Amino acid sequence: MSNKLNESMSLAKPDATNMPIKQKIAIAIGFIGLFLLTLAFFNTSFPSKNLFLTLALALLFVGVIIYSRSSYLSKLEGIKNDGVWFKSISSRGFWGWILGIVLTSFYIVLYFYPKYLGLGTNGEENAGLIGFFDPLSKLLSGRPASQWFVYGTLYTVAILVFGYKFILKYRHNRYQQLRTISVMFFQLAFAFLIPEFMYVMNSDLPYYDLKSMWPLNYYIFDEWSVKGFLSSGNIGLAFLIFGIVSIFVVSPILTYKYGKRWYCSWVCGCGGLAETAGDSFRQLSSKKLSAWKIERWLIHTVLVFSVIMTTAMIYTYLGYDKNDFWLTRGLFISLVIGLLTLVFTGVILFKRHELGKDAKYGAIGFFVVIMVLLLMHFTGTTNHVFYIKGSALRSAYGLYIGSIFSGVIGTGFYPILGNRVWCRFGCPMAAILGFQQRLFSKFRITTNGGQCISCGNCSTYCEMGIDVRAYAQKGENIVRSSCVGCGICAAVCPRGVLKLENDSMDGRINPNEILLGNDVDLMDLVNKQ
């Protein structure tokens, strides 16, 4: 039976899916583009780097564009999930594993062995793949490429081409199209082009992707970064203030009005890649209750780690210049503790009943953080906090969370664990936004009365592994901290049961036992109990 035909290492796909010749040609074109990049990786000397780089990228674009047009435009508008679980690439089959291994290896080399990509060290010229991108980098900012420039370019290309594919796939769905255009724009402009231009204007400014917020860009409050900003005059200071305002002011307001989706599926680059290049893998996320439990522990642990790490970092360098800056260590720690306490008491006062059992875990987490901070303050010396170097914490975070989790596992494992592994299990920013979404936001997914037929399309295609059906079949709205508001559950639902909405906070969470359509007295009796 069809449902047994996956997770195998078999190369043969079920013969149900015969690929049209046009799609085969498209794939060939795309692969020639990739092949050129591979040649560059092996240090092939091209007659003209300019020409071949342009050619390689153009072939990638053309390949995906032809493929998408042939897949979607030849059919009527509608849901295009036919054969998803038959294709080996999207059902953890042979090609899925191969792709996973290739991506993971690429990330490992990128983060840990950039010299294999051709990065020139000690003033040498770049070679290999990185050298191949020199012309583009020089064109944009006048400096030679780095591994991050190569990565950023490929990342942006991926979001653009697969974004185009996604827009065609959902050409009947304006919500999907608009948010995809939005992530394509933010990636191209904010993450890719503007930082390059900023460098041209002022080469002292640290790399700053304006849309990326702490704690996602955990490095923004690093000493070199803050120094970089402060030493670049007003514009630097403006950026630093913008960074602080965006997390403490802008983000809470937008999340209150629209839910965390405004960021996670309209702006964020990680989300952008997941929604475009990762779209073919969304069904692979685990919907098990056990996965949800792991998720909640993991993501909140990362959040606690990132708060402590950042505080420790700032704390350490605040100590250097004794009192020539108004922000002293004592004041800083008090501010952090004050802010955390404010949030904590607010939640306990107003939202205790909504949290239920989780309130206890929240309380424990809160007190642990406070204790750790106090401990830090009273045991800290100039550059040691709790007898460890503050910078060691920072490097550990950068290595394990910033590189291995978000990159190697987060993206490398797309074809195995689904496209939002990082967003779901690791991203501290998602944890903060999610916390707010669960408690202080107008956003919810409304369930349409009794219309659900428990088919499971929504749960299957939820990239965050939310068992949407579990709510829908009870007629209960979905108010989950992890929901990124991608809207795919609502799109694939064959009965029009789900709608993403911003509405009033009252009655947002509405557990039901008896659904609309039955005896009104019975509904009253059971649901009001």
Partner 1 sequence: MEHIVIIGNGISGVTAARHIRKLSDKKITIVSAETEYFFSRTALMYVYMGHMKFEHTQPYENWFWKKNNINLKQGLVNQIDTEQKTLHFKGGESLNYDKLIIATGSKPNKFGWPGQDLDGVMGMYHKQDLENLEKHAPNNSICKRAVIVGGGLIGIELAEMLNSRDIPVTFLVREDSFWNGVLPQGESEMINRHIKNHHIDLRLSTNLKEIKSDENGKVKSIIIEETGEEIECNLVGLTAGVTPNIDFIKDSNIETAKGVKVNRFLETNIPDIYAIGDCAEQHEGINGRRTIEAVWYTGRMMGETVAQTICSNRLAYNPGHWFNSAKFLDIEYQTYGWVFSKPREDEAHFHWKHEDDTKCITVCYNTNTNEFLGINTFGIRMRHEIFDEWLTEKRDVEYVINHLPEANFDPEFYTKYEAEILSAFNKKLQTV
Q: What is d(CA 477, CA 27) in angstroms, rounded to the nearest whole number?
A: 41
Q: Among residues 46 and 292, whose Cβ is nearest to partner 1?
A: 292
What do you get for the CA distance between the two ends of the chain, in Å? Answer: 45
C-beta atoms surrounding 490 within 10 Å: 23
- 94 interacts with partner 1 by CB under 8 A: no
**Distance (Å, rounded) from C-alpha 231 to C-alpha 282?**
44
Cβ contacts of residue 124 below 8 Å, gap of 6+? none
CA distances from 150 to 127, 160, 362 (A): 12, 15, 41
Cβ proximity to partner 1: between 348 and 470 the closer is 470
Applying CB under 8 A, does 506 fall inside the site for partner 1? no
What is the pattern of x (binds ligand SF4, CB under 6 A) and - over residues 285-324?
A: ----------------------------------------
Q: Identify the residue whose tokens are 């449902």.
A: 3
Stretch that binds ligand SF4, among 2-10, 59-67, 188-196, 467-475 (CB under 6 A): 467-475
**Residues 367, 407: Cα–Cα separation, whole Å:** 31
Question: In this complex, which beta carbon is closest to ligand SF4, that of residue 393 or of residue 515?
Answer: 515
Smaller CB distance to partner 1: residue 439 or 453? Answer: 453
Residue whose entry in the numeric block shows the structure tokens 């780095």: 146
Report, in Å, the least distance between residue 240 CB and partner 1. Answer: 35
Closest CA to 499 of 468, 453, 464: 468
Strands (E) located in 302-363: none
499 with 490: CB under 8 angstroms?
A: yes
Residue 129 binds: one of partner 1, ligand SF4, none (C-beta under 5 to 8 A by kind):
none
Residue of 60, 270, 498, 515 interacting with ligand SF4 (CB under 6 A): 498
The reply to whether 77 sits near partner 1 by the rule CB under 8 A is yes
469 binds ligand SF4 (CB under 6 A): yes
| Residue 7 DSSP SS3 | coil
User: Where in 392-451 is the site for partner 1 (CB under 8 A)?
Assistant: 446, 448-451
DSSP classification of residue 279: G
Residue 484 site contact among partner 1, ligand SF4, none (CB < 5 to 8 Å, cut-off depends on kind) = ligand SF4
- Residue 491 CB, nearest approach to partner 1 (Å): 7
Stretch that binds ligand SF4, among 124-132, 309-317, 432-440, 460-468 (CB under 6 A): 460-468
CB nearer to ligand SF4: give 276 or 310: 276
Site size toward ligand SF4 (CB under 6 A) is 27
- With CB cut-offs between 5 and 8 Å by kind, which of ligand SF4, partner 1, none does residue 520 bind? partner 1
Residue 125 or 519 with smaller CB distance to partner 1 = 519
Q: Which is nearer to partner 1, 3 or 234 (CB)?
A: 3
Selected binder of ligand SF4 within 393, 472, 479, 523 (CB under 6 A): 472
Candidates 65, 210, 363, 455; binder of partner 1 (CB under 8 A) is 455
Q: From the CB of 453, what's the least distance to partner 1, in Å?
A: 4
> Token pair of 158, please?
């991926």
**Does the footprint of partner 1 cover residue 46 (CB under 8 A)?**
no
Is residue 408 a contact partner of residue 399, using CB atoms and an 8 Å limit? no
Q: What residues form DSSP beta bridges with 501? A: 444
Strand, helix or coil at 401? helix
Site for partner 1 (CB under 8 A): which residue of 178, 237, 327, 388? 178
Give just the sign of the alpha carbon dihedral 407, 483, 168, 185.
negative
The CA–CA distances, whole Å, from 503 to 378, 491, 507 equal 47, 20, 10
Q: Which entry of ligand SF4, partner 1, none binds 178, CB below 5 to 8 A by partner kind?
A: partner 1
Helix axes of 147-169 and 269-276: crossing angle, nearest 10 degrees: 50
Query: What b/e string do you get for 31-50 counting C-beta neighbours within 10 Å, with b at 16 or more?
Result: eebeebbebbbeeeeeeebe
**Nearest CA-CA partner of 276 in 179, 150, 196, 353:** 179
Residue (of 217, 214, 419) closest to 336 by Cα position: 214
Q: How many residues bind partner 1 (CB under 8 A)?
A: 63
466 binds, among ligand SF4, partner 1, none (CB under 5 to 8 A by kind): ligand SF4
Q: What's the count of helices (H) and strands (E) in the chain, helices before strands?
A: 24, 4
Q: Does 524 bind partner 1 (CB under 8 A)?
A: no
Closest contact distance (angstroms) between CB of 406 and partner 1 is 28
252, interface contact from ligand SF4, partner 1, none, CB < 5-8 Å by kind: none
Q: Please choose, from the candidates 292, 278, 291, 262, the residue with its C-alpha nearest in 3D space to the C-alpha of residue 461.
A: 278
Binding site for ligand SF4 (CB under 6 A): 445, 452-458, 462-464, 466, 468-469, 472, 478, 483-489, 493, 495, 497-498
Binding site for partner 1 (CB under 8 A): 1-3, 6, 14-18, 76-79, 81-87, 172-175, 178, 288-289, 446, 448-451, 453-457, 459-460, 469-470, 473, 487, 490-492, 494-496, 499-501, 513-522, 526
